């Protein structure tokens, strides 16, 4: 099995997945097989015309349409692979790998596998010497994720363990260096993760809405065992450059989710009091989430029983 997902030798073989792209940038993912054919409105593309040759070539259908043929790289596979749950897109996966500081050999916990897109990125980063323990509540999602990972890598990854169940109930009592929570209510799992995370470890929560982001941030502050969370959103804008026509492109990738990143403190330590006070009413009578203990009482910071 090739852990990078890139075949070797470089010649295309039966069973390889290739992406065929036309002049307008439209893509079609095809699995090559001997004697196979891909039928289009512009004629037939024969698989045998690609098998045995290199990738990065132009192939012409019987109707005269040209296509570029490449094996899909990871970012392309992530957005085109079969899915039962929404995937973390490449722009967010790249941010997660960097901000969570995923390194070769890391012991990583992932909760909320979805269709396996982020799992693939994490596995590539930790290599065969690390460990990724992924938790997913739904068997259906877990099955899709496992198939996608094994399809791209060509087989099971030796560093991956996938458990079906609720994280708080199923989490193993083992040390972890990094954790990524991609779920509806990650604040419910922060205590369980904190108990097993080594000092200096990094926790990243991926959420879709601003209200979720606020709840995660307040829970981390109320816990006291994590640094002040770093909250981010990533957007990507394509550009068009041709001669003197240089302008933003039409393929802007806007909001997909928020990241909340924080580091685990040593046992018995608490984060220093924030120097910037929240605005009056930030923790007022309409707020029902966790309340940081280091917020002045007059601003609603008195500890409450939730």
What CATH number has the domain bearing residue 35?
Answer: 3.10.330.20
In this prediction, residue 208 carries a pLDDT of 94
pTM, rounded to two decimals: 0.83
Tally the domains of the chain.
2
Q: Look up the domain containing 25 and give its range.
A: 17-72
249 within some domain: yes
Contact criterion met (CB below 8 Å) for 223 and 193? no
Dihedral sign from CA coordinates of 153, 154, 158, 164: positive
For residue 204, the tally of other CB atoms under 10 A from its CB is 24
Q: Are residues 124 and 159 in the same domain?
A: yes
Contact criterion met (CB below 8 Å) for 131 and 110? no
> For the ranges 17-31, 67-81, 224-238, 278-292, which has the lowest average pLDDT?
278-292
Residue 273: is its pLDDT beyond 70?
Answer: no
DSSP state letter for 187: G
Structure tokens at 191: 């205590």
What CATH number has the domain bearing residue 175?
Answer: 3.40.50.150
- Locus of tokens 């029902």: 288
Of residues 83 and 180, which shows the higher confidence score? 180
Structure tokens at 271: 């984060």
Structure tokens at 9: 């030798």
Q: Are residues 198 and 174 in the same domain?
A: yes
Preceding amide of 9 cis, omega within 30? yes
203 within some domain: yes
CB-based contacts of 30: which residues, under 8 Å, 6+ apart?
17, 18, 19, 20, 38, 45, 47
Q: Are residues 66 and 81 in the same domain?
A: no
Residue 2: is its pLDDT beyond 90?
Answer: no
Residue 214: is its pLDDT beyond 50?
Answer: yes
């Amino acid at each position: 099995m090739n852990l990078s997902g890139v075949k070797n030798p470089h010649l295309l073989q039966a069973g390889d997945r290739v992406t065929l792209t036309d002049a307008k940038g439209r893509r079609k993912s095809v699995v090559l097989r001997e004697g196979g054919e891909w039928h289009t409105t512009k004629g037939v593309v024969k698989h045998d015309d690609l098998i045995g040759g290199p990738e990065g070539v132009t192939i012409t259908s019987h109707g005269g349409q040209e296509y570029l043929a490449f094996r899909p790289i990871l970012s392309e596979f992530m957005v085109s692979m079969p899915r039962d749950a929404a995937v973390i897109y490449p722009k967010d996966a790249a941010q997660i790998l960097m901000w969570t500081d995923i390194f070769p050999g890391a012991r990583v916990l992932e909760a909320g596998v979805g269709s396996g897109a982020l799992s693939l990125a994490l596995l590539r980063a930790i290599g065969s010497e690390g460990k990724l323990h992924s938790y997913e509540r739904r068997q259906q999602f877990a099955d899709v994720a496992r198939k996608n990972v094994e399809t791209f890598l060509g087989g099971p990854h030796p560093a991956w363990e996938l458990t079906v169940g609720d994280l708080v109930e199923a989490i193993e009592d083992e040390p972890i260096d990094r954790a990524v929570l991609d779920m509806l209510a990650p604040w419910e799992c922060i205590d369980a993760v904190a108990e097993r995370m080594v000092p200096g470890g990094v926790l990243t929560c991926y959420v879709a809405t601003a209200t979720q982001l606020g709840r995660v941030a307040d829970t981390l502050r109320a816990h006291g065992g994590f640094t002040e969370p770093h909250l981010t959103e990533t957007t990507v804008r394509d550009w068009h450059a041709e001669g003197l026509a240089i302008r933003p492109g039409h393929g802007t990738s806007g909001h997909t989710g928020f990241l909340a990143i924080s580091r685990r403190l040593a046992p018995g330590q608490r984060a220093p009091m924030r120097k910037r006070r929240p605005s009056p009413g930030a923790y007022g009578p309409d707020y029902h989430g966790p309340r940081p203990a280091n917020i002045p009482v007059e601003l609603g910071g008195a500890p409450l029983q939730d």
